Amino acid sequence: MPEETIVIGKVGGCLLKAVTAADGKTRFESDCLNKEARDALAAIFEEEAVLRITPKAFLTEEISAPDTRLNTTES
């Protein structure tokens, strides 16, 4: 099975992806515009992660592909 990459979205100047390797394990990867953007994303992951179950959000919204353009003005 080859690697599969799914674009999750963008955070600041970083593009966040979920990559599933040939062995079936999935990891997060990011491509960032610069070191500052990379460090800001790392700080977010180090601070806190909140995982919620909200099935109604998926029933009421149309799911579309995220905007894959990087924008350094958003965070």
Instruction: State the pLDDT at residue 24.
Output: 94
In a domain, 67, yes or no: no
Instruction: State the pLDDT at residue 74.
Output: 47
Greater confidence (56 vs 5) lies with: 5
Read off the pLDDT band of 25 (50, 70, 90). Answer: very high
In a domain, 73, yes or no: no
At residue 14, what is the residue type?
C
Range of the domain at 23: 4-60
Q: What is the pTM (predicted TM-score) of this model?
A: 0.64
Give the SS3 label for residue 9: strand
Looking at every residue in the chain, the average pLDDT score rounds to: 83
Quote the number of domains for the chain: 1
Is the Cβ–Cβ distance between 28 and 44 less than 8 Å?
no
In a domain, 32, yes or no: yes
